[in-house]
Amino acid sequence: MSSHILVLLALIFFAGEFLVDADLIAYFDVTKYGASPDGSSDCVKAFLSAWKDACMYSGKSGVLVPQGKFHLSAVEFQGPCKSPITFLLQGTLLATSDRNHFYDESWILFEHINGLTVKGHGTVNGQGSFAWSYNNCKKSSNCLSLPPSLSFHYVTNSYISDIHSVDSKGVHIKMYGCEDIKISGVTLIAPANSPNTDGIRIGTSSKVHISNSNIATGDDCIAILTRSENIDISDISCGPGHGVSIGSIGWTHQHEQVLGVTVRDSTFLGSTNGVRIKTWANTAYSEVENIYFNNLKMINVANPIIINQHYCPNGPGCQSGESSVQIKNVTFSGIHGNTRTQEAVQLLCSGAMPCKDVKLIDINLSYNGGDGGAKSVCSNVRGSTYGTVIPSGCL
């Protein structure tokens, strides 16, 4: 009897011990292919063998990673698969601590798959503490990036839920060329001083829904990059980290675009930014349009509301001139709480291409520092205010 049938029968028989979907997914257990849960033996060959059999199975299938610690070097799970496929993570995956692999393009990559589910209450441990000192991006614009923990390239109609990612070397979850992705119940954690450890980075993707997740990192909790549209974010907790950012836009000096982003019903705790749009100076013509930030709570956040069209994080070498990124139809509504910096609202737009149709609605942000209250600082922005707006004086 084949290994996948045995696993399926075991899953049915021990329904109280294993997670079984209502439709009885046929799971391929990586330990049946030789993966050892000892935390030291590289299991990449066993994982790839289990994936190959699951991907070629005619019917709903999955790869099962049971409890235990599995050392896994860089791996690519390639599609397309014959049917919808699940990656069920119950154990812990450990990345390499070998510095010869610190600049791999990715650690765990899912690519060219329709109908992928990645779920379970297991953990992806990037062991970033071994690698963060090798990140020199603050010193060099030509630096090499450390690898993301989970990458999804050209993945569609898929779901990621209940995964824990800790100490990623680079980004925790990276999406490129994806469409119709739902992310829910994930926990992404790295120290506040860990460099470039974005929680979720979205690029060239559409119809992405992120909800009910906890993100505490050393960089953006969520970063939305060019050619992304129809992004919906709700019920997240962000902090520490750099907030939810659109951009940066304009780095490539080619036309870039972000359209249709909503961030709502979320809490920012001790983050260096709340919600932010950032563009470089001296850019090609680009657009950021139809952005909605609604019902957000700020607790001890440094910059709760910020548009910065002269973004240049590393100081020396910043380009002069004005940004040619047109920002328009941006709404900040129902944002309340407190800030640890006095400039609670910063709308610093381009002198060459001012922001248009910016709305501040029912804003209430107090300064929890020393003398004086919260302030607004604005330039080159056109818009209006509605309801009570504290601090006032911007539009």
Half-sphere exposure at residue 4, Cβ-oriented, CA atoms within 13 angstroms: 20
Q: Is the dihedral of CA 42, 45, 48, 53 positive or negative?
A: negative
E strand or H helix at 44, and its extent? helix 44-56
Catalytic-residue membership of 42: no
Catalytic: which of 153, 172, 242, 310?
242
Burial of 212 per CB tally in 10 Å (0-12, 13-18, 19+): middle
The CA distance from 330 to 156, in Å, is: 28
C-alpha gyration radius of the chain: 22
Catalytic-residue membership of 219: yes
- Strands 69-71, 92-94: pairing is parallel
Catalytic: which of 53, 198, 219, 220?
219
Beta strands in 217-367 (DSSP E): 222-224, 228-238, 244-249, 257-269, 275-279, 286-301, 305-308, 325-339, 343-348, 355-367
The CA distance from 232 to 227, in Å, is: 15
Quick check: 90 and 114 in contact, CB under 8 A?
no
The CA distance from 196 to 147, in Å, is: 10
CA distances from 246 to 94, 222, 223 (A): 31, 8, 6
Active-site residues, by number, are 219, 242
